[in-house]
Amino acid sequence: MAPNATTDRYSVLLPTYNERENLPIIVWMLVKVFTEHKLDFEIIVIDDNSPDGTLDVAKRLQDLYGSDRIVLRPRAGKLGLGTAYVHGIKNATGNFVIIMDADMSHHPKFIPQFIQKQRDGNCDIVTGTRYAGDGGVYGWDLRRKLTSRGANVLADVLLSPGVSDLTGSFRLYKKHVLAKIIDSTISKGYVFQMEMMIRARQFDYSIAEVPITFVDRVYGESKLGANEIIGYLKGLATLVVSV
Ligand SMILES: Nc1nc2c(ncn2[C@@H]2O[C@H](COP(=O)(O)OP(=O)(O)O[C@H]3O[C@H](CO)[C@@H](O)[C@H](O)[C@@H]3O)[C@@H](O)[C@H]2O)c(=O)[nH]1
Ligand SMILES: [Mg+2]
């Protein structure tokens, strides 16, 4: 079902590190979806001084689409995914914030479903899930599938927040809800997404799920290396002790 037009504004946070091929395509897809559904939006690009010149591409997109639609929030170096969201939300003008990857693994076609779901239940958070309903993952090798499943199961067993995809990062938040959750988080890297759900449950925010298909990137490479996996495990251990 397509959401109706309202005065709502959606701020999309796109963290980028070496995404020069992907950025123009994802931005075009986002503009198309929001325009077709007559929804007000801005796209905030948080680039960490990518060596491949992603920021130059972002500047050209800003010239093309306008600075009310494309907002640049660059940082001086690679400071991690968790803090990129924190940085990106600072000047967000929407009353809703959508967090998603810039490499098209998160397809903008799901956004109207997120919005409809949010409106149906006036939910605080809508989270995409690869691990319920029609959700799924395409293009990952067995090692990556096991890593993702393992990370989810481990977090679920240790912290039980009742969300089927704890490490997913395609989500819609009421902005004041996201700001409050961010204020209470301690994680810096990929574990940030998981901690967000734990904090949301602690604050008793309502969370709805939308099944999504996650398709592995075509251009560029994942930044989730061994260091991030070790960081995830350390972050999880810290959370288990602290919550
Ligand atoms: N600014 C910034 N962006 C970053 C950084 N690290 C990664 N990104 C951006 O964050 C997005 C996700 O990074 P990927 O490297 O493509 O992640 P992935 O391996 O596909 O992992 C996906 O699945 C994980 C769970 O299984 C998720 O936890 C993760 O968020 C992501 O959705 C991309 O847009 C990428 O450019 C960073 O340090 N800084
Ligand atoms: Mg990716």
Residue 149 falls within a domain, yes or no?
A: yes
Point out the ligand 1 atom lying closest to the alpha carbon of residue 17: 36
Query: What mean pLDDT is reported for the chain?
Result: 91
Amino acid at 176: H
User: 208 phi and psi, to 5 degrees?
Assistant: -110, 160
pLDDT of residue 18: 97
Residue 3 falls within a domain, yes or no?
A: no
pLDDT of residue 2: 55
Residue 4 falls within a domain, yes or no?
A: no
Residue 71 falls within a domain, yes or no?
A: yes
pLDDT of residue 5: 56
Distance 101 CA to ligand 1 centre (A): 6
Neighbours of ion ligand 2 (CB under 5 A): 103, 105, 217
Point out the ligand 1 atom lying closest to the alpha carbon of residue 147: 26
Residue 58 falls within a domain, yes or no?
A: yes
**In CATH, what number is assigned to the domain containing residue 193?**
3.90.550.10
202-229 burial string, b = 16+ CB within 10 Å, else e?
A: eeebebbbbbbbbbebeebeebbeeebe
pLDDT in tens, 143-187: 888 888 888 888 777 777 688 898 889 999 999 999 999 988 888
Question: How many residues does the structure list for the chain?
Answer: 243
Token pair in block for residue 142 = 């067995």
Residue 42 falls within a domain, yes or no?
A: yes
pLDDT of residue 95: 97
Q: Which domain holds residue 156?
A: 9-242
pLDDT of residue 194: 85
Strands (E), the chain: 9-16, 40-47, 70-72, 96-99, 125-129, 136-138, 171-174, 207-211, 213-215
Residue 145 falls within a domain, yes or no?
A: yes
User: How many domains, in total, are found in the chain?
Assistant: 1
Nearest to 129 by CA among 173, 86, 168: 168
Which position has the token pair 């298909």?
213
Residue 1 falls within a domain, yes or no?
A: no
Residue whose CA lies nearest to ligand 1 atom number 16 = 222
User: Residue 196, Cβ neighbours under 10 Å: how many?
Assistant: 27
pTM comes to: 0.92
Instruction: Give yes or no for residue 3 having a pLDDT over 70.
Output: no
Highest mean pLDDT of the ranges 1-10, 21-30, 178-187 = 21-30
